[in-house]
Structure 1
Amino acid sequence: DSPTRNVTLSSLRELGLFKCAANDEAIRDIVAGCPLIERLKIIDCRGLKSLEFLNLGKLSKFMVRNEDRLARVSICGPNVRLVDISSLHAPCGINVALCKNLKELKLFKLSITNEWLCNQFSELPFLEYLEIFRCMKIRSIKISSPYLKKLLVRFCNKLYEFKLDTPNLSVFDYEGDMVSFSSNALALSETSLCLDSINVDNQWLVKFIELLAKLNHCSNVLNLECYAAAIIPRELREILSSPLTYENHVCFIINSEYNTFSLAKLLDSLLWISPHAETLSIKCNDCDHEFCFQ
């Protein structure tokens, strides 16, 4: 018999397994002996191939990390509110769709696709927070959800588009290369864009202006961070319209270690981008200087 089969921790509410050598059966037996478990963390445990937890009625938070041989993660629980899965380097079958009351989902370094994301979302009607970080296979993020409030996407190198039907989204945070963006009836309180392109030409600037124009009507606060100064040249201003025409708050952060720039030209460009901004702030993130205009 498994030495863990008779383990009973009837009052345990939080269990963390760190750097343990254990097989799937041992983990299942340990967890099965914790009927009141509410928070479960499994981190750097060698020997696991499949994690399947289907009858944990009290579980509210689940985290698994750095399991490079894990081929499957499936979790089901009526009270699960947070799932955090990261660094499963092998292609991994992940199923959280049975957590019908899930509120928060964090995905880090996973081989997920938009098809997988759509399938999971269709079964998670109450999801409010989604974070996707360094998921290198995902190319398109298409989300339809009436409850989603916060969306954070960072360093997904193959991503090229967002299509959002999320009327209650209040915070959108994206870091990566230039993307296309379309949405339906957004009412964002805050948008953060960190565009990490270093080589900026007129074609990039046109896409930059088009992206900002998509956010014109739907964001009160716009935080922009660029690795380049993003100064719009005169020839483009003559053929394009200012993308931000509403009164809003704009903060522009520039990583000035990559380039030199004229503050006067940058300010002139930002005033063209957002001529009616209530406040306009410029920060250089490798120094202590900040300029604010009202």
Structure 2
Amino acid sequence: MNYQNLVEVMIDSSKLCRLSYSGNTAISFSMNASGPLDAEYTMWASYGPWDAEKIEFLSKMATSKVFKLSIIAIQDVIIPKELRETLPSPLYNVKHLKLSIPLPFTRCKVKELLDGLLWISPLPDMLVMELCRQSDPGFDYKIAFEFSCRKPIYKEENPSCCEFLPFPCWRHCLKTVKIESLKGHADREILYKYFSGYAKTLENFQFHVGGIP
């Protein structure tokens, strides 16, 4: 769907398996889809950065197992910390999360992106950042993260990062991380410090430029 004047969407289909939406989130949205969903949302650049309204909109697609978020403006990628600390993760059931973002892309932004994406989907099996160039449709670089987890270990009774979740987030059970960075659009040291610093359960970290064997 792509309607500029859209104000309300109601979807009632228990067999719905794929949903793609491009536009803003200032609409009334409800959905009845009982099965696993492959969903995609393209955020309009003119609609501004993240806010509670966008988070609530994503939560309407909580049955998704695969979710792709496409952002046109790079400044709209980062999810503010105050939102992550006060709102529940909208897509905690998602196991395969994709982010499509435009170039230029700076390595220093990776940690901020991960903070937001691993909050949106706090226990994924796969996270993929696709780097695109609008002037060149054939341009295709990506950074792929493959995760495996173990039985969670809590070091505090009620960790704040899991306050709104029905299960522990990745920080308490991450076992292995495999990273594929095509063309080297990521920094191994930065990523290792990020995951080992947050996930004390981490046992294995692999970083590959060009592909995961």
SS in 2 for 1:182: strand
> What is the aligned partner in structure 2 of residue 237 from structure 1?
84
Show CA shifts across 1:20-61 (max 9, x none).
xxxxxxxxxxxxxxxxxxxxxxxxxxxxxxxxxxxxxxxxxx
Q: Distance in 2 between matches of 1:180 and 1:197?
A: 20
1:207 — aligned with what? Answer: 53
Task: Flag structure 1 segments of 5+ consecutive residues without an equivalent.
Answer: 1-152
Counterpart in the other structure of 1:195? 43
- Which consecutive unaligned segments of at least 5 residues does structure 2 have? 134-138, 147-213
SS at match of 1:238: helix
Instruction: Provide the rounded CA distance (Å) in 2 between the counterparts of 1:190 and 1:285.
Output: 21
Where 1:262 maps in the other structure, the secondary structure is helix
Aligned residues: 137
- What TM-score do you get using the length of structure 2 for normalisation? 0.57
- Offset from partner CA, 1:156-214 (integer Å, 9 cap, x none): 1111321111111111111122244211244243111111234524xx42122112211
Q: Does 1:293 align with 2:139?
A: no
For residues 180 and 231 of structure 1, the distance between their equivalents in structure 2, rounded to whole angstroms, comes to 24
Aligned to 1:221: 66
- Give deviations 1:264-287, integer Å, cap 9, x for gaps: 211221111111111111112115
1:158 aligns with 2:5: yes
Which residue in 2 is equivalent to 1:172? 19
**Aligned counterpart, 2:196:** none
The whole-number CA distance in structure 2 between the counterparts of 1:256 and 1:159 is 30
Match of 2:116 in 1: 269
Letter in 2 for 1:272: W
**1:227–1:255 Cα contact (<8 Å) kept:** yes
Contact 1:191 1:223 (C-alpha < 8 Å) held by counterparts? yes
CA spacing shift, 1:237–1:189, aligned 2, 3 Å: closer
Residue of structure 2 in register with 1:279 after alignment: 126
- What amino acid is the match of 2:51? L
Greater C-alpha radius of gyration: 1
Partner Cα distance (1:255, 1:291) in 2: 13
> Secondary structure of the residue that 1:242 maps to in structure 2?
coil
Q: Partner letter of residue 220 of structure 1?
A: K
Contact 1:197 1:226 (C-alpha < 8 Å) held by counterparts: yes
Relative to the length of structure 1, the TM-score reads: 0.43
Question: What secondary structure, in the 3-state scheme, does the structure 1 residue paired with 2:45 have?
Answer: coil
Match for 1:227: what amino acid? I
Contact kept, 8 Å, 2:19 with 2:40, in 1: the verdict is yes
Instruction: Report if aligned partners of 1:213, 1:243 keep a CA contact under 8 Å in 2.
Output: yes
Q: 1:199 to 1:166 in 2, by over 3 A?
A: closer
Alignment of 1:1-294 (within 5 A): 153-154=1-2, 156-178=3-25, 179-201=27-49, 204-216=50-62, 218-228=63-73, 229-256=76-103, 262-286=109-133, 287-294=139-146
Compare relative contact order (CA 8 Å, sep 6+) and give the higher one, 1 or 2.
2
